[in-house]
Amino acid sequence: MYLLPCLIFAGSLFAATPLSTPSHIRPYRRPITTWIAPYAVKRSFEAIRVPQVAGILTHLDLQFWEPTSDGAIRLVEEPEVSLDAVEKLRNWGHEQGIRVMLCAFNGERDWDWPLAKHAFSDHCDGFVDSLVHEVDRLDLDGIDVDLEGPAQYESDKPAFLSFIAALSKEMHSRRKQLTVDSFCYIWNAPNQGWWADLFRSVDAVNCMGYDETGCAAPEWRSFAALKKAAGAHTDKLSIGMLSGRDKWQGSPLAEHLAWIEKDNTMGVAIWDAQFRSSAWKSTDVLKALASIRRGR
């Protein structure tokens, strides 16, 4: 397999091009994404099998994989995570017309950035190869990169962008998608300051603002500020929200979604698929999510 050398800077490469929709995927204008957390597989599967919820989702990200110190990947050691679970969720997702994505992350609780860096910087080619091989082997629809750092790590930005660009080339050559999860402002890694370069290679940036951002939040926390930061690529930005909350930043869930619906440029990324708050299953909220997915 030919892999683009990871020493080439991402900004010098190509912009991600629109992908044709596979026959088993439900058409959509704006993505509605949720994640299956590795510690809540059964509960999440029960929640998303509700027909009304299944009907509004476009992407199901399986947060089941982590890098190894030598740049390979492996399933995380959680009782509910297995290849059987991957197959079951993939088959169900495809039956519903949902893209099922491999999600690679570096620790739910401790943000092991050195481990992530070993993979995307020190072993970039092998890491890309491992991710691509797993997607091909398991017939998944793409990759969501959820490598998070607890500081800005600006010196690691070029290597991260080059890794994303190389992975993008492989995914798009297979007519599959690549998304990346980013912090909502200038802190941590990857962050808002990396978006302009990331947008060149990915199909979507999932903005992990969650309850720190909102439709009527002040200054950089507002949805309007996030949209402005995305610039010409606002159609590749998905606003993160928490499925366990029905109100944050002074506004109820319905008002946050109404803002996104009216704006008609951005998607929604929901952490996570347990949908603990009943507000997410209300008729008005499900209608708003369906409207966002369809677009105008």
Q: Residue 296 has what pLDDT?
A: 77
Q: What is the pLDDT of residues 195-207, one digit of tens each?
A: 999 999 999 999 9
Q: Residue 107 has what pLDDT?
A: 82
Q: pLDDT by residue for the chain (296 residues), tens digit each?
A: 333 345 433 333 333 334 567 778 999 999 999 999 999 999 999 999 999 999 999 999 999 999 998 999 999 999 999 999 999 999 999 999 999 999 999 986 678 999 999 999 999 999 999 999 999 999 999 999 999 999 999 999 999 999 999 999 999 999 999 999 999 999 999 999 999 999 999 999 999 999 999 999 999 999 999 999 999 999 999 999 999 999 999 999 999 999 999 999 999 999 999 999 999 999 999 999 999 999 97
d(CA 202, CA 187): 21
Looking up residue 142, the CATH number of its domain turns out to be 3.20.20.80
R_g (Cα) of the chain, nearest Å: 18
Nearest 5°: CA angle at 197, between 4 and 162? 25
Buried b (16+ CB within 10 A) or exposed e, 184-203: bbeebbbbbbbbebbbbbbb
d(CA 211, CA 186): 17
Classified as helix, coil or strand, 14 is coil
Q: Answer whether residue 1 is part of any domain.
A: no
Helical spans, DSSP H, in 59-206: 83-96, 113-117, 124-138, 157-173, 195-198
Q: Residue 16 has what pLDDT?
A: 37
Q: Residue 207 has what pLDDT?
A: 98
Predicted model pTM: 0.93
Look-up of token digits 């893209």: 99
Q: Answer whether residue 13 is part of any domain.
A: no
Q: Answer whether residue 177 is part of any domain.
A: yes
Structural domain for 118, as ranges: 22-294
Look-up of token digits 């299944």: 54
Q: Answer whether residue 12 is part of any domain.
A: no
d(CA 160, CA 162): 5
Q: Residue 187 has what pLDDT?
A: 93
Quick one: angle between helices 283-294 and 253-263, nearest 10?
20
Q: Answer whether residue 254 is part of any domain.
A: yes
Alpha carbon of residue 156 to chain centroid? 20
d(CA 38, CA 76): 8
| Of 172, 180, 160, 191, the residue nearest 61 (C-alpha) | 180
Q: Answer whether residue 6 is part of any domain.
A: no
d(CA 176, CA 13): 18
Q: Residue 15 has what pLDDT?
A: 36
How far is residue 280 from each of residues 13, 40, 108, 247, 272, measured CA to CA in Å? 40, 18, 23, 11, 12
Q: Residue 69 has what pLDDT?
A: 87
Domain count of the chain?
Answer: 1
d(CA 90, CA 168): 21
d(CA 211, CA 19): 32
Q: Answer whether residue 97 is part of any domain.
A: yes
Q: What is the pLDDT of residues 47-95, one digit of tens each?
A: 999 999 999 999 999 999 999 989 999 999 999 999 999 999 999 999 9
d(CA 116, CA 122): 10
Q: Answer whether residue 203 is part of any domain.
A: yes
102 neighbors 132 (Cβ within 8 angstroms) = no
Q: Residue 23 has what pLDDT?
A: 73
